[in-house]
Every structure is written in structure tokens, then in C-alpha cells.
Structure 1
């Protein structure tokens, strides 16, 4: 049932995080491999490779596991159908066969098996010596490496692996091609996070060096971490005792930033985030917000008339996604900033969806310009795909390469609303069933809210859904438009409605902005319209439609 499934995912998350903290540099780990050979199949919760010893398959069980008279029991008291070590052994044998098959000869990589019970305290290890060291309990997860080394030594099945680690490369290749993965190989996202932390700190050091300048324009392409760096530096400025106002273009980004500032406000710091238009609403006197574009334009004009330095209780302004603001927005920003108020503006001209005016002279005059260095915030295959959309370049091989690596997926269905809904249901079901936490998934429509058939619904494909600015957005599947999700990201992003007629305008820009919202994987639900509309995915979509038995 759902409760048992979520308990299982939570147990695997504990193991994941323990390995992410402690895995030796020369070890490699994969999470969630479904192994297939003919009619036989098995799933390995974790596979850990030591180039000197072989590989270890770890079976994870949630709840308080017990053992009695040679049988293993779940916390509910129900006996397990198969002992966890037997399940690990079956998966290990299938993995060995797959490696042999791929390398074209019998390699017989040495392997061992282990079981891990992250929710079990005390000691339920088997009493016989050859199995005792093959079980890891909750206490072992503080640093699981010694226990894993004992498992290697206790259960190692001899083999004749070559001295080179080429078999590890084969496993990685097989993972993307022959296996059905749960999500990225275990360490991929962790390496990206580590790189982000290092580069964020380096970028912050540069911003600190620019702090004597009253105006700084910081330019950074998608993937340079400009929003994260802006947030971190805004917090530093707040800690220095200054009042900080962080202005955004979209409600979801403002909501996320303001929630992240809440702990600082609990310490008495004055820092908040809002959208420029909500600030305009405050300045203009409040009341019901405008219902249409013309109403907002009139409100902005009124706010410009009433705005003055005292209208904003802030010593320093931070403004993100400046490239999105129109002429009236910029006029209000110029009036608020005045000639002297310190302002840090962050922008990416490549992510502008509409034609926008340049910064007014009053904002740009005397500003120091700084370009954030490139930062790898997504797998290179996914970043290359995004660059192709940005460059309006046709290259179907980039999509094929990303799909082979496991960073990209393409689901092709007939051009009917019902089939598109079924395709999305299949994608979400597969992600859910394979252990991807729903809070790691965003479903983004490539059209606006009025045209979309999925945005604004309480559930999509029977999965509870929330907009990007919902208070519960951090713990549920987000379903929203690609424009409202600007500045945010999720590990997995599912893109829909690209074949809608209204998505044809500026289609490549839509795809560029949407693909860059994913930290690890993008899945596109595509219809036949993309054959002509998308020069990158079009050839692949055509191949899938022409294939026998295509849905």
C-alpha cells in the first residue's frame, strides 16, 4: 500500500544520504537497478563498486526487522517471502550475467551481498558468523563504510575480475541502456551539489569584493546559480544589520525566497521577498488586485506617481530576473531605487521570453557589471540539450545521447487530449513506483495557464498537484507553467503540452527555459505536432511514431 511504499522509500533515502556523506572517492554507487534477463528479473536497491574487490548488492528493508528460527519478519510481524540476502544474491547474479554479456566473455566479477535495516535499532544480526557481518542496522549508517567493508570480506564470492576497473564502466553503461533506473546514479546529483557549494562560495567571495559599489548588475546564464548566489548574499547583507528587500518577477520564486528568509526574521533581521507588482499594489494603496493586464498597467502607473524613497522600508534592494520586467515595471524600480539606494540586479538576457526594453539610464548609470562564471548545475548531456534550444540548433543526436545516459526521456503519444493525459499518468506512475519522491518532481506546461488543461487542477493523472507558489509546494508534485517556474528547479522536470497550438510561438525559447529548470532529468510528453515544431526532438518523435506498435 502507499504507506508501506513510502516507508520503503524513506528507508532507502536514509541509506542514500549515508552513502552520499561517506562514500570513498574510488567507490561508485548506483541506486535502484532493475535487472532483466529473459523472464528473470530482480531489483537491486543499491549496488556499490570497489575497483579492488568487486561489487556489493545491498537490499534495504524498512521498519523494525526481526529474525527468528532462520526466518525474517517485517515490523508488522508478517514474514518475508524471501530472506533479504537471497534477494540481493539473485540481483547480484543477474548483474554478473549482464556484465559478462556486455563484455563478450566470462568475467565473473567478484561480488558480495548485504542487507540494511535503517529503521532497526539493537541487534538482529544472524548468529552464524558468515552472515553476521552482512547486515547493517540504523547505528551503522552514521558511517556505513566499515560495515560495508566487513560485508565485502564476509560474503565475497570469488571471481577473476580484470585488474582494470573497466567492468565498472560497463555497469554504468548498462545502467543507462539496459536497466530501468529509479533516478540518477547515486553520486551524480551529489557531485553536482558539491560543485554548486564550492562555486557558490567562490562567487560569493567575488560579490563581497564588489560590495563598495552602490549598483551592481550581475549577469549569469541558466546554470550559473545566480538566484542561489543572490539569496545567499542578500542574507549576508541582512546579517550585517541592513534592511533588505528582494524583488522578483514571479510569485512562486518570491514565495520560495520569502519562506527561506523566515528563519532570519525570527532572529530580528529585516529581510523579505515579494514581486515588484505586489510591491506596486502596496504602494498604490492596496485593495483588490487588478483582474487583467490593463488593470495592472494602470496600477503600475499609479505606483510610479506615489513611489518615493520612503515608500520602501529597505536599505538595499536585490532584484532577480530583471530581463523579464517591462517598461512600467522598470520605471517603478527606477523610482524606488532613486539615484543612491544600493541595488544588486541579477539577469540572464537569454531567458527573456518577451521583447523588453533595456535598463533605464537611471538604474544602469555607474553600475559595475559582473558575469557569473559558468557552473555545471545539471548533467552535461542535459546542459548540451538546453544549449541547443538556446542556439536554435537542430541536433537530434543530443536528445538521443541524453536519453542513453538517462538524463532525458521522451514519451510519444497520439495527438489527443486523452492519450496525452494517459501518457502523463504513465510517466508519473513510473516515477512514483520507482521511488522518486514527489517533492522532487515538477510538471511544467509549455503554454499559459488559460490554455493549459493541467495547470490549476487539484490532481493530474490521479496524483495530487499544487502550483509552484503553494505553501505545500515543497512536499508535493508541482504542476505549473514554465514561465511561473522561472528561477526555480526540481531534480526531475516533466514537460507537457508542447504540441498545443499556442506553444508554437517562440517554441525553442519555451523549451530552453523549461529544460533548464531540471537538475537531473527531463521527460517530455510529446505528440505528432513536434515532428515539425521541434528540430531537436522532431526526428526522434517521427521514428517513435513510425515504429510498429507505437501507441
Structure 2
């Protein structure tokens, strides 16, 4: 039996008898391929072209035949091919149509990447009149474009192979002989006659859709912005992912549009660089608090005592160059040097006392207190304090995982939030095993179409297992590698959290885990070196696990709302 593609005939007009011919061609031996209703569509020089060949027959050792089928009564009168009802045939009749389709197919192959096939494969065209007998054909006088050798009659319906092979046996003026290898024949089928593909949303496409959802301004955030229009000073608290930086940036933008200068302070230099790169705006100056001290004092290192003197001069003269001050990551401004000089409170006083309509806003997360021991005093002194509750950065599963070690409260997500895939915890047996696992994770993510991938260590860069493999902050010269502390305030589609071990979940370090995991928007992968005993201890001491520990690693992953894996995935 021939290989029929498709396995059943496509839709056809009953009068054409293509179903009968399809069944007959199926009787060919299994080294024949038969393609029914083969269409070629292309545009050339702005003109749309379309053709359809009733059947294309392919044999690796014999060649290709483009076959037109014409059933019922057919006439040729006054130089015109006519159907039995007298209607003229399109394309100049069956022979011209079959010949034209043959050359279109050859051109289609030539335009692709298989032009070499034309030099090692015969191409023919033929016409099948299933209603005409062999004897009747002998008595017919065909027009000049028709050759009876290229005609199949109703006798071929019982077994077409000998009639087909008679055509294949013809010689061509070019002396081409068919000599396609099995690989070449398979490629011809796969790329020309029957290409196969599967259209599915890539991971990157899904990530783009999720980011569109995340970046919508929630009612809660819009309400905060509207409220701040009437409030000159405020401290806005919110867990990771609740949109604090988004609101802060939008508030700065609105002031700049109104023609008023804004000082935007944060703690991390990477966050400052990101804000400058993505939200640059005339009249908005982004600084770290250290960078601002250097700028104000014209120094290469921050001297907060000198900054205090400079700010006092501004207070007296009323010449501070900014009308609005916005502080992001406010919880990190509690270092001793900053607190002792009281410079943030002084900036607040300058704004409130010197500028009518001047504003001072602080955005902070008490759960991300990793750069200082205590919350800065100036935050508690502000009269107005607001709280954001709904997570709009992370998928619901990532938000749950990030909060599990530090609170029993479930994250509040907005209606229609993306559920997302659970985080994966990859349990590694050794440092070398973790390095191999990280490479495997990255390769799989890249193959899935993810591009925005960041590697975060729960330790320092020098203490990380990747310390010897990082060049200028990049792993494999491509992927950003940094600490959870330094990446605080930023986010990425995918976070690979590494150097996770027993110490990660100790009281002094567990907030680092929260900071790192909450940076992931779409996907979270965690590489950990944890024994069964380590998992048991963390379950009882940190995660308040109440059940009986049966399979320590699996129970540990489950307690973190994650999937545990062992071995290269």
C-alpha cells in the first residue's frame, strides 16, 4: 500500500471522482508517496499566486508526477477544453494545468533550501481520465499540448502502478535520472510536501503575557496615588511585589510632568542604575543615599556628617534644589551613620518647611530589613502611614513560597492573579553537584525561551559556589550574578536562587531567602545542599511543621509550596 498523505482524501467535488482515484493510488506499493490536493501559495512582485495539484506522486528511485484528474464528459473544441456542460476549463485545460503545476512545484523547491533535488530527480506531469477507456483514447485526437503517453484511463483504476511506471520510464532531454537517498527523500517530504510544526505559546510569550497582567495598575495602587495627591508626607509599607517602586516611580513622573524637580533616593546601586535606565525623566534625579552624599559634598566617599552640614545650609538659605523627595527601600536607611546624623529627617524638614506644596514620601517593607538592624526612626515619626497588601509582581505560587519561612499569613493577590508553576527546589549532594545542576537549570530555561534569568546567592559573591566562575558580574558571560541583598528592589522573569543550605533558614538569614525568592516574577528555581536531617530541623524550627516527617526532602519542599527534585533534571 502506498503512503497516502493525508490518510483520507480531502474534500472534493463528487463529480471529479477524486475519491475513486485516491483509492486506486493507494494500491501502489509502499515505496510510493501520494499527496492529495497539494496546494502552493506564494506572492511574487506583490501579486498573489495559488495553485492546486490533484495528486502528486513521489518515488525515491523514480521521481515526481503531478497528476490532474478529469472525470465525466470532457470535450476539446475550437482550441478550448470544455466540461460536458460546455463551460470552459480553467488554466487552459488539464495538460497545461498539470504542466504549470509541475513547474510551480519545481520553482517552489528551488526557492527553498533543496534546489539540488532538481538535478537528481525526474519531474513529470500527467492527466487521468477515469471515465475514458484505453480504446476510446486511441481514437481521440488530442491538442498539441496533450500526449497520450501522459494519460491514464479507467483501466488504471484496477491497478495504476504499471501505468505510473510507464511515465517514470520516460527519458528527459536533460538526461536527469532519479537518485535520491533515503535521507534526501525524507527531507523532501518533511520540508516541501508535508512540513510538520507545532504552534504553541513559548515560555517567553507566556512571560510577556504575565508581565502585562502584573504591570496593570491595581485599584489599590491607584487609590494610594490619588490619596498622595492630597497628602504632603506619607510612609507606604508593603511586602515584596505589592508595587511600591511602581507607585514611587509614577509619583515622581507626575511631579516631573508638572515641571517640579524630584529627588529619588534608594539604597542599592543596582536599583538606582535600573531606575535611571528604564525611568529616566527630566527633573527626576536618582541617587543612592551614598551617591547623594558624595554629590552634595563633592567627595569620592560618603561623609554623612558633612552632608548634614550641607543640608543645614540649604535649610537656612531655602535653596534646596528639589521640591519633592521620594525614598524607596526606606527600611534600609537605618544604618548608624545615617541615623546618628539624622539626615533623612533633616531632608524631610527642608521640604515641609521651605516649600509650599512640597512632598516627602517613603516606601518600605519591614520584612526586608536586611541592611540595618532596626527600622529607621524617621519612618515611625511620619504622621501618615499606609499599607499595600496585594501582590502584583509574583505569581501566586512564588509569593507563597517567598513568605512561608517568615510568616504563616498567606499572600494577598489581586483578582485574576497568575497562579504560575510552583517553585522547584533542586536538592544537591555536593558543591560540584550544585554547579552542574545550575548549568542544567539554565540550559533548560534557555531552551524554553526564557531570557531574563538572574542568579542570586544567599551568601556573598566570594562565598558563593560560583565565585570562581563569574566574570564582571556575569555567569557564563551572559547571566547576571549578584547577591540577594544587592538585587533587592529589582525583579526578573526567572530567579535561580543558589547557595541555599541549613544556615539560610537561621533567624539572622531567613529574610535573605525572602528577599531573593520574591525577586522572581514568573519562575523560581532553588539549588540547595540540604540533608534529610537538615530538612527535618528546618521543618520543625523554622517552618513550624506539625505533621510527621516521612520523606524529609519532599516534606520540606511541600512545606515551602515547592516541588523537590533530586538528580539532573
Instruction: State how far apart, in whole Å, the 2-side matches of 1:301 and 1:391 are.
Output: 38
2:246 to 225, 228, 232: 228
Q: TM-score, normalised by structure 2?
A: 0.54
What per-residue deviation string (whole Å, max 9, x for no partner) do you get for residues 295-329 of structure 1?
Answer: x6xx2233234433638521110000111122432
- Tell me the SS of whatever aligns to 2:480: strand
Report the CA distance between 1:206 and its aligned residue: 3.4
Partner of 2:191: 83
The aligned counterpart of 2:363 is 346
Q: Write out per-residue CA displacement over residues 351-384 of structure 1, whole angstroms, 9 at most, x where no aligned residue.
A: 21255434435x6545322222413422222222
Corresponding residue for 2:459? 447
**Aligned pair partner of 1:336 in 324, 332, 347:** 347
1:325 aligns with 2:323: no
DSSP-derived class of the 1:233 partner: helix
Q: Distance in 2 between matches of 1:274 and 1:387?
A: 30
CA–CA distance in structure 1, aligned partners of residues 216 and 565 of structure 2: 44
For 2:535 and 2:312, the matched residues in 1 are separated by 52
- Structure 2 gaps, min length 5: 1-103, 118-186, 353-358, 411-418, 544-550, 559-563
Q: Aligned equivalents of 1:374 and 1:278: distance in 2? A: 32
Q: 1:277 aligns with which of 290, 310, 316?
A: 290
Q: 1:388 aligns with which of 401, 404, 420?
A: 404
Shift of 1:387: 2.4
Report Cα offsets for 1:25-76 as digits up to 9, x if no partner: xxxxxxxxxxxxxxxxxxxxxxxxxxxxxxxxxxxxxxxxx98556497689
CA deviation vs aligned residue, 1:492-551 (integer Å, no higher than 9, x gap): 10000112857756343222111110111100111135535653696228899x999789
Q: CA deviation at 1:286?
A: 0.6
Distance 1:322 1:418, change over 3 A: same
Range that drifts further, 350-359 or 512-521: 350-359
- 2:470 matched to 1:457? yes
- Taking only aligned residues, the RMSD between alpha carbons, in angstroms, comes to 4.0
Name the SS of the counterpart of 2:234 in structure 1. Answer: strand
Write the distance in 1 (CA, Å) between the matches of 2:193 and 2:329: 52
Counterpart for residue 531 of structure 1: 535
**1:308 aligns with one of 291, 305, 312:** 312
Residue 196 (str. 1) matches residue 215 (str. 2) = yes
- Say if 1:315 and 1:364 are closer, same or farther in 2 by CA, change over 3 A: farther
- Residues paired across the two proteins, number: 358
Equivalent residue of 1:451, what SS? coil
Q: Is the 8 A contact 2:427 2:567 kept in 1?
A: no
Match of 1:425 among 439, 446, 453: 439
Q: Distance in 1 between matches of 2:552 and 2:506?
A: 13
Q: Partner of 2:270: helix, strand, or coil?
A: helix
Gaps of 5+ in 1: 1-65, 92-113, 115-174, 176-180, 290-295, 395-403, 466-476
Larger radius of gyration: 2
CA distance in 1, matches of 2:523, 2:366: 24
Instruction: Determine which of 406, 414, 417 is the counterpart of 2:421.
Output: 406
The 2-side partners of 1:418 and 1:321 are apart by 36
Helix, strand or coil for the counterpart of 2:425?
strand
Assess if the C-alpha contact under 8 Å between 2:473 and 2:480 holds in 1.
no
Q: Distance in 1 between matches of 2:503 and 2:259?
A: 51
Structure 1 Cα separation of the partners of residues 475 and 112 of structure 2: 29
Find the residue that maps to 2:401 and give its secondary structure: helix
Report deviation, 1:486.
Answer: 0.7
- 1:338 partner SS: helix
- Structure with more of its chain in helix, by fraction: 1
CA distance in 1, matches of 2:433, 2:390: 40
Indicate the SS of the match to 2:236: strand
What are the equivalent positions in structure 2 for 1:70-149 lying under 5 Å apart? 71=109, 82-83=190-191, 86=194, 88=196
User: Does residue 371 in structure 1 map to residue 375 in structure 2?
Assistant: no
Which residue of the other structure, out of 542, 554, 561, is the alignment partner of 1:540? 554
- SS of 2:241's partner is coil
1:450 Cα offset (Å): 3.6
Are 2:426 and 2:565, in contact at CA under 8 Å, matched by a contact in 1?
no
Mapped partners of 1:337, 1:460: distance in 2? 36
State the alpha-carbon separation in 1 of the partners of residues 473 and 298 from structure 2.
38
Instruction: Look up the SS of the partner of 2:450 in the other structure.
Output: coil
**Aligned equivalents of 2:445, 2:521: Cα separation in 1:** 16
TM-score normalised according to structure 1 size: 0.56
The 2-side partners of 1:67 and 1:203 are apart by: 60
- Residue 7 of structure 1: aligned partner: none
Structure 1 residues 143-174: Cα deviation after superposition (integer angstroms, max 9, x where no partner): xxxxxxxxxxxxxxxxxxxxxxxxxxxxxxxx
Q: CA deviation at 1:429?
A: 1.4
- Aligned equivalents of 2:492 and 2:241: distance in 1? 13
Q: Is the 8 A contact 2:454 2:496 kept in 1?
A: yes
What is the CA–CA distance in structure 2 between the aligned matches of 1:191 and 1:197, rounded to whole Å?
10
Counterparts of 1:245-284 in structure 2, within 5 Å, are 245-262=263-280, 264=281, 269-284=282-297
